[in-house]
């Protein structure tokens, strides 16, 4: 029955309607914000938003990789916290500790990601469960380690510099870090065999396996990368706040998933572009910022936040009709 | 006689959950300083019942191959609502209970409508509705407070004839009055069918939309029952984000322990209830072994990790590697 | 040829999917007490026609009448209520539910709003008996039954609805010979009971045995209706493909010069599905796997390709014992194996991905340098394959799912040929594709063999084995029962050895379990 030959040009195809809509929504939000206050269109405000968005952007990058595989990483909250706490903890061990603080934090995240990856790829446990369990374990370890209080160790100067400093005046370093990671991700997804395999596995793992792709290794690497990126996000957040905190990661799980999905990546895997994720991250950040600037109480912000996400998804995130 | 073999296979997940629970509970009571007394059971029951309700709610959605990440928030929202409404004269209290349950069911129905008619993936749709429900809960109770009809609360959290915990009886009643009729109805079967194979269910002309909608709605209703009981235990309403999230996450753990397949189509709320009770008992084991409560989250996490990894052992019996990929 | 007024009539039915025309002004009329065969190539519109009959999709234009009254079906349930039941090619059973649950799924008996399990069981047993399958336990889960039994349950499920019109879409494709004869007996009895049956099949012998009337479709329209037996097979095929039907098979080169085998197995066994399989495969040779469906042929291909665990025995490549633990190892340099899998939609392709991405997916290791895709190299490799296989795709950046079945299968083959494999395993590659593409695939296989590839070819179509293969290994119950070579490969010999009977008498087909 399917004799169709798609004649859409590459140009049109690359313009994913979801990404276009997401960018449209960003403009709309900026417009609405500017009605409220002129300062919404000032470079300072926009840069500030970009800086805030960078933390989410780094974490969402890892989440996207996992979602492209048709999986999900629910261990983000405590991977972020573990990365932050372990980096700060390392800083307490003299100059060597200070030097190794950042890599150590990231390594802890990769470790958590590797456990997720082994569970999903080799033990074939649904990712929702494995990552839930590793999140609980990471939380348990951190609670034991900190004694249930926020740790007293503080971030190293390097962490603070990366999160708050500005190598180029006016442009925060963390924005550069996100840009670098983003560029690497785009390259990875579009130009490497790994990227192709990720899309292939996300579409149909069975067919990818029978094509001779080492699907398990790729799934495991993707989870490890997600863990590492979450931990990096945590390290930078700790630098931003000068120290780690118990529940610092909680506020990143749902926004990260929402950003990826609002950017047009299919939650079932196999489809999505990084540009969309960038749009989703900025969109979520702006939304949060506008809601907080309007000094609306937390309750109202939550409600609007949820309603807006549902509304936008209904605009373009729908599955095709069955009949 | 031959039938038994098939029935046993059908209920293997549930029976395993019961076995895990019984084992854990024996270890728990055997080491409990007070031993197997009505008091110990009542405390354990009251702790377990809340998660059991939420897990039962989660099961309804999970059998349709969906997931409800807002279930913990419906639980909080109804808790906060109950702390306003379930007070006063018996008539007022009854009215309050009805409203609370109706609101819960309505929240569930909204989830269902978005998933079915909006054609959004359940995981993202319920994340978003969860934020909305939490916002409303926060609106109702910016700070912990409120009250509840204490007579009713004490009656439902106390003991019947001084022995049987009333909360357990209530839980059993909900299973009999809601879960059993649902699972054996045409709509319940449609919910299972849609979870097992949506195309096949459609080709077979089953009422899949109504079945799914009913599943989501009942999930909201059962979560509201949980919220109601939370109010009965605490006498207050509290919109605590961490608690809502924890209940959502633990409900998934309980469902898995209860032998319900996250891929849909398989499992029973009864299994999930025992999964929830087992999960709670595991958490309390530390207490009877006199360990620092600080270790509890880690212990719970490790047990969960171990339990799900055990399930993966079946993998090594797979002789055809294609079976790895569903 | 019409005897009695038609029970059900479709007139001027048209249906489009997106821009693709699936049916154009199609007609069909069926009468009670007769079996009506619908023939046509894949893509001729048969499936769409019966989906419209069964209410799965709605027509864009046209009208349907039942007993002379106009009808329209909004859903499968509506068609069902009108007395039309359908046994689909893709199973419509719910795997996690029991056989009884599935059989009564349309209209379960209820008491107090709950499903009455006793009554349900009773109905299920009745329906199973009517379908000639009382041996299936009503409480067994459908997913635990073999495919062949599932198909019988599907028929029982249709019968439980007490239909007036029963549609069977390739309903025998997964059945074993024993089950086929049982089903035929059931169908003949239903015809005697006055049902109207619509039967869709690719197997000409089945149609000859069953049908009273036939209708041929081509390109979404009806070509002709005629009384069964009034046209010869070649006339029918001509109607189906719309051109002369020549010999479709390329000439065979005759016996090869003796050479060392490229692939050899010694006493290969797996679980209780494969038993002591020993054979060898030389370069330039096409070896067929024959036998009834489900005798271990698929398992053998998967075993060679490194998918199965716990293999016993030896696999030798170029005379050296080799252990292959995954498709990734099987395709590696030095082994160079390729497998064209059974189901192109779930195992061969990623339907939403582009033709380009699908084509390069099995060769990513060769098309990348340091992990980075060499675009020029990829482009030229894809161009080569598109020409070699004459893949008709409007745009290689369009999803592969938009191609016709035949072109999809070509993409699956092309993605492996891109690696220039030395050993090619094919798992029923021509199933469900049009005659034209089949012919191209036969030519291609012979050309590959001539260029030095060793080919192991499983087919459920005996004619293909006879036409294409230099040798055929006939499997029965997971073991090689007979090896046929050259002129020995005849339909008679294939069937006889497939049934594992020494005297080559095909009429014994029914008596074999």
Could you read off the pLDDT of C44-83 as tens digits, one per residue? Answer: 788 788 888 888 888 888 999 998 889 888 888 888 888 8
DSSP string, B56-102: HHHHHHHTTT---TTHHHHHHHHHHHHHHHS-SSHHHHHHHHHHHHH
Regions of chain C with pLDDT less than 70: 1-4, 18-20, 41-43, 89-91, 173-174, 176-177, 202-203, 241-247, 501-513
Per-residue model confidence (pLDDT) at position C448? 94
The B residues from 95 to 114 touching A (CB cutoff 8 Å) are: 114
Contact C90 B199 (CB under 8 A): yes
Inter-chain contacts counted by CB atoms under 8 A, chains B and C = 96
Neighbouring-strand partners of residue C84: C165
Residues of A in contact with C41 (CB under 8 A): none
Nearest in space to C174 (alpha carbons), one of C91, C92, C101: C91
Q: How far, in Å, CA of C476 to CA of C495, rounded?
A: 11
What count of other Cβ atoms lies within 10 Å of the Cβ of residue B293? 11
DSSP string, C336-377: -EEEE-S-IIIII--TTSBHHHHHHGGGHHHHEETTEE-HHH
- Chosen for mutation from A7, A184, A210 (greatest number of chain C CBs closer than 10 Å) is A210
Q: How far, in Å, CA of B184 to CA of B70, rounded?
A: 26
As separate numbers, helices (DSSP H) first and strands (DSSP E) second, chain B gives 15, 2
Which of C17, C368, C393 comes nearest A1 by C-beta? C17
Nearest in space to B296 (alpha carbons), one of B307, B287, B305, B306: B287
Which of B128, B132, B262 comes nearest A126 by C-beta? B262
Most confident of A287-296, B116-125, C414-423: C414-423
Chain length of chain C: 513
Per-residue model confidence (pLDDT) at position A4? 38
Per-residue model confidence (pLDDT) at position A323? 38
| B264-297 pLDDT tens trace | 888 999 999 999 999 888 888 877 777 787 888 8
| Tokens standing for residue C204 | 């000409």
Chains that touch A (3 or more CB pairs under 8 A): B, C
Which of A124, A148, A309 comes nearest B324 by C-beta? A124
Q: Which residue of B has its CA nearest to A297?
A: B139
Contact A132 B304 (CB under 8 A): yes
| Tokens standing for residue B217 | 């709605």
H or E segment to which residue B43 belongs: helix B38-62
Residues C340-351 as b or e (16 or more Cβ within 10 Å = b): bbbebbbbbbbb
Cβ atoms of C1 and C25 within 8 Å: the answer is no
Nearest in space to C84 (alpha carbons), one of C2, C192, C196, C172: C196
Q: How far, in Å, CA of C382 to CA of C403, rounded?
A: 16
Q: What is the DSSP letter of C179?
A: H
Cβ atoms of B263 and B66 within 8 Å: the answer is no
| Tokens standing for residue C439 | 């012919």
Give the Å distances, CA to CA, from C14 to B192, C52, C305: 35, 10, 44
Q: How far, in Å, CA of C332 to CA of C338, rounded?
A: 10
Contact B132 A302 (CB under 8 A): yes
Find where tokens 């192709």 sit: A196
**Banded model confidence at residue A319, pLDDT cuts 50, 70, 90:** low
Angle between helices B296-311 and A127-146 (to 10 degrees): 150
Residue A286 has pLDDT above 70, yes or no: yes
Half-sphere exposure of C203 (CA within 13 A, CB side): 17
Which of C328, C353, C398 comes nearest A203 by C-beta? C353
pTM: 0.83
What count of other Cβ atoms lies within 10 Å of the Cβ of residue A38? 10
Residues of C in contact with A208 (CB under 8 A): 350, 361
Q: How far, in Å, CA of B63 to CA of B84, rounded?
A: 33
Cβ atoms of B202 and C75 within 8 Å: the answer is no
Q: Does the CB of B186 have a partner CB in chain C at under 8 Å?
A: yes
Nearest in space to A72 (alpha carbons), one of A145, A2, A126, A142: A126
Find where tokens 């005849």 sit: C490
Query: Nearest C-alpha of chain B: how many angstroms from C257?
Result: 37
- Which long-range contacts does C485-494 make (Cβ < 8 Å, 24+ apart)? C486/C254, C486/C255, C489/C288, C489/C465, C490/C466, C491/C462, C491/C463, C491/C466, C494/C290, C494/C462, C494/C465, C494/C466
- Chosen for mutation from C59, C327, C332 (greatest number of chain A CBs closer than 10 Å) is C327
Per-residue model confidence (pLDDT) at position C18? 59
Contact C394 A194 (CB under 8 A): no
Q: What is the ipTM of this complex?
A: 0.85
| Tokens standing for residue A252 | 């990143």
Residue B210 has pLDDT above 90, yes or no: yes
Per-residue model confidence (pLDDT) at position C321? 93
Per-residue model confidence (pLDDT) at position A124? 87
**Banded model confidence at residue A9, pLDDT cuts 50, 70, 90:** very low
Residues of A in contact with C418 (CB under 8 A): none
Which of C348, C368, C402 comes nearest A2 by C-beta? C402
Please state, rounded to an integer, the average pLDDT across all residues of chain A: 87
| A26-36 pLDDT tens trace | 999 889 888 88
Q: How far, in Å, CA of A12 to CA of A4, rounded?
A: 18
Contact B131 A309 (CB under 8 A): yes
Contact A129 B256 (CB under 8 A): yes
DSSP string, C290-331: ESSTTSSHHHHHHHHTT-BSSEEEEEEETTEE----SHHHHT
Angle between helices A17-36 and A298-316 (to 10 degrees): 150
Contact A209 B321 (CB under 8 A): yes
Q: Does the CB of C310 have a partner CB in chain B at under 8 Å?
A: yes
- Chosen for mutation from C298, C350, C358 (greatest number of chain A CBs closer than 10 Å) is C350
Per-residue model confidence (pLDDT) at position C507? 42
Which of C18, C339, C371 comes nearest A4 by C-beta? C18
Q: Does the CB of B123 have a partner CB in chain A at under 8 Å?
A: yes
Which of B131, B262, B300 comes nearest A306 by C-beta? B131
Q: Which residue has the higher pLDDT, A132 or B174?
A: B174
SS (H, E, C) A154-177: ECCHHHHHHHHCCCECCECHHHHH
Strand order across the C61-66 sheet: C20-30, C8-17, C61-66, C69-71
């Amino acid at each position: 029955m399917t004799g169709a030959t798609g004649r859409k040009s590459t140009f049109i195809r690359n313009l994913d309607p979801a990404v276009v809509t997401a960018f449209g929504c960003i403009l709309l939000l900026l417009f609405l914000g500017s009605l409220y206050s002129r300062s919404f269109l000032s470079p300072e405000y926009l840069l500030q938003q970009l800086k805030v968005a960078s933390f989410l952007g780094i974490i969402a990058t890892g989440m996207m990789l996992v979602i492209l595989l048709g999986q999900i990483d629910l261990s983000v909250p405590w991977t972020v916290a573990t990365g932050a706490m372990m980096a700060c903890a390392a800083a307490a061990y003299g100059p060597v500790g200070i030097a190794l603080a950042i890599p150590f934090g990231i390594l802890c995240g990769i470790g958590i990601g590797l456990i997720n990856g082994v569970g999903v790829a080799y033990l074939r446990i649904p990712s929702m469960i494995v990552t839930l369990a590793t999140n609980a374990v990471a939380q348990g370890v951190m609670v034991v380690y900190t004694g249930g209080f926020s740790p007293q160790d503080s971030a190293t100067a390097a962490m603070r510099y990366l999160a708050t400093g500005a190598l180029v005046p006016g442009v925060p370093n963390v924005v550069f870090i996100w840009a670098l990671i983003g560029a690497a991700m785009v390259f990875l997804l579009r130009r490497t065999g790994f990227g192709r395999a990720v899309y292939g596995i996300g579409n149909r793992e069975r067919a990818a396996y029978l094509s001779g792709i080492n699907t398990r290794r790729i799934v495991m690497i993707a989870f490890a990368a997600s863990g590492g990126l979450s931990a990096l996000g945590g390290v930078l957040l700790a630098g931003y706040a000068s120290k780690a905190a118990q529940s610092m990661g909680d506020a990143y799980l749902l926004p990260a998933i929402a950003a990826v999905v609002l950017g047009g990546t299919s939650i079932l895997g196999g489809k999505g572009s990084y540009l969309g994720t960038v749009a989703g991250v900025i969109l979520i950040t702006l939304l949060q910022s506008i809601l907080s600037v309007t000094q609306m109480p937390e309750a109202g912000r939550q409600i609007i936040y949820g309603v807006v996400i549902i509304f936008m998804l209904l605009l373009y995130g729908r599955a095709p009709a069955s009949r | 006689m031959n039938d038994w073999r098939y029935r046993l296979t059908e209920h293997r997940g549930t029976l395993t959950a019961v076995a895990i629970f019984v084992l854990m509970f024996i270890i728990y009571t055997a080491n409990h300083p007070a031993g197997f007394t009505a008091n110990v059971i009542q405390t354990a029951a009251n702790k377990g019942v809340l998660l059991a309700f939420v897990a039962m709610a989660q099961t309804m959605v999970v059998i349709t191959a969906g997931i409800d990440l807002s279930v913990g928030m419906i639980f909080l929202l109804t808790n906060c609502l109950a702390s306003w409404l379930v007070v006063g004269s018996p008539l007022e209290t009854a009215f309050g209970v009805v409203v609370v349950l109706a609101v819960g069911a309505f929240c569930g129905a909204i989830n269902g409508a978005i998933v079915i008619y909006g054609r959004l993936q359940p995981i993202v749709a319920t994340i978003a509705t969860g934020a909305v429900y939490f916002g409303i809960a926060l609106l109702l109770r910016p700070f912990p407070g409120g009250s509840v009809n204490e007579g009713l609360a004490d009656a439902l959290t106390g003991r019947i004839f001084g022995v049987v915990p009333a909360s357990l009886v209530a839980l059993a009643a909900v299973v009999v009055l809601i879960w059993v009729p649902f699972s054996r109805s045409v709509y319940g079967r449609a919910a299972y069918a849609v979870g097992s194979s949506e195309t096949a269910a459609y080709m077979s002309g089953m009422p899949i939309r109504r079945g799914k909608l009913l599943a989501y709605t009942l999930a909201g209703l059962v979560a509201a029952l949980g919220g109601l009981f939370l109010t009965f235990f605490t006498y207050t309403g509290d919109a605590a984000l961490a608690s809502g999230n924890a209940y959502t996450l633990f409900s998934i753990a309980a469902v898995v322990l209860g032998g319900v397949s996250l891929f849909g189509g398989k499992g029973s709320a009864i299994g999930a209830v025992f999964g929830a009770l087992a999960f709670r008992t595991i958490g309390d084991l530390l207490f009877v072994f006199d360990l620092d409560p600080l270790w509890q989250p880690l212990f719970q996490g490790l047990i969960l990790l171990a339990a799900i990894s055990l399930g993966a052992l079946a993998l090594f019996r797979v002789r055809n590697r294609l079976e790895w990929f569903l | 040829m019409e005897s009695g007024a038609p029970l059900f009539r479709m007139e001027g039915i048209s249906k489009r999917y997106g821009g693709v025309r699936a049916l154009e002004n199609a007609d069909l009329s069926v009468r009670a007490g007769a079996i009506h065969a619908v023939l046509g190539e894949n893509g001729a519109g048969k499936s769409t026609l019966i989906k419209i009959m069964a209410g799965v999709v709605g027509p864009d234009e046209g009208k349907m009448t039942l007993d002379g009254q106009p009808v329209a079906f909004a859903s499968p349930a509506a068609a069902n209520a009108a007395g039309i039941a359908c046994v689909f090619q893709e199973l419509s059973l719910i795997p996690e539910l029991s056989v009884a649950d599935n059989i009564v799924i349309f209209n379960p008996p209820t008491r107090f709003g709950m499903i009455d399990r006793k009554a349900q069981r009773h109905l299920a047993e009745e329906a199973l008996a009517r379908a000639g399958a009382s041996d299936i336990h009503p409480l067994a889960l459908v997913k635990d039954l073999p495919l062949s039994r599932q198909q019988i349950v599907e028929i029982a499920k249709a019968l439980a609805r007490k239909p007036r019109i029963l549609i069977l879409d390739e309903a025998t494709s997964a059945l074993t010979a024993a089950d086929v004869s049982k089903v035929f007996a059931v169908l003949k009895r239903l015809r005697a009971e006055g049902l109207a049956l619509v039967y869709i099949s690719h197997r000409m012998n089945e149609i000859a045995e069953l049908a009273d009337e036939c209708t041929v479709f081509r390109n979404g329209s009806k070509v002709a209706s005629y009384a069964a037996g009034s046209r010869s097979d070649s006339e029918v095929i001509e109607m189906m493909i719309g051109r002369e039907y020549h010999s479709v098979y390329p000439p065979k080169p005759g016996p090869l010069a003796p050479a060392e085998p490229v692939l050899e197995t010694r006493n290969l066994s797996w679980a209780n599905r494969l038993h002591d399989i020993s054979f060898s495969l030389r370069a330039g040779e096409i070896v067929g796997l024959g036998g009834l469906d489900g005798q271990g042929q698929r398992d053998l291909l998967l075993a060679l390709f490194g998918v199965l665990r716990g293999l016993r025995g030896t696999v030798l490549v170029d005379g050296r014992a080799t252990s292959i633990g995954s498709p990734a190892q099987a395709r590696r340099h030095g082994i160079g194996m390729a497998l064209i899998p059974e189901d192109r939609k779930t195992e061969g392709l990623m339907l939403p991905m582009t033709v380009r991405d699908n084509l390069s997916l099995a060769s990513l290791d060769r098309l990348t340098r340091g992990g980075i895709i060499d675009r020029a190299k990829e482009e030229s490799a894809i161009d080569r394959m598109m020409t070699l296989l004459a893949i008709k795709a409007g745009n290689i950046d369009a999803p592969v799912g938009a191609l016709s079945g035949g072109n999809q299968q070509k993409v699956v083959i092309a993605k492996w040929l891109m690696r220039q494999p030395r050993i090619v395993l094919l798992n029923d590659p021509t199933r469900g594709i049009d005659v034209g593409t089949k012919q191209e695939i036969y030519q291609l296989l012979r050309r590959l063999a001539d260029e030095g590839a060793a080919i192991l070819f499983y087919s459920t179509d005996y004619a293909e084995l006879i036409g294409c293969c230099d040798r055929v290994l006939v499997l029965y119950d997971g073991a090689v029962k007979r090896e046929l070579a050259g002129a020995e490969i005849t339909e008679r010999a294939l069937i006889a050895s497939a049934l594992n009977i020494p005297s080559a008498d095909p009429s014994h087909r029914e008596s074999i379990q």
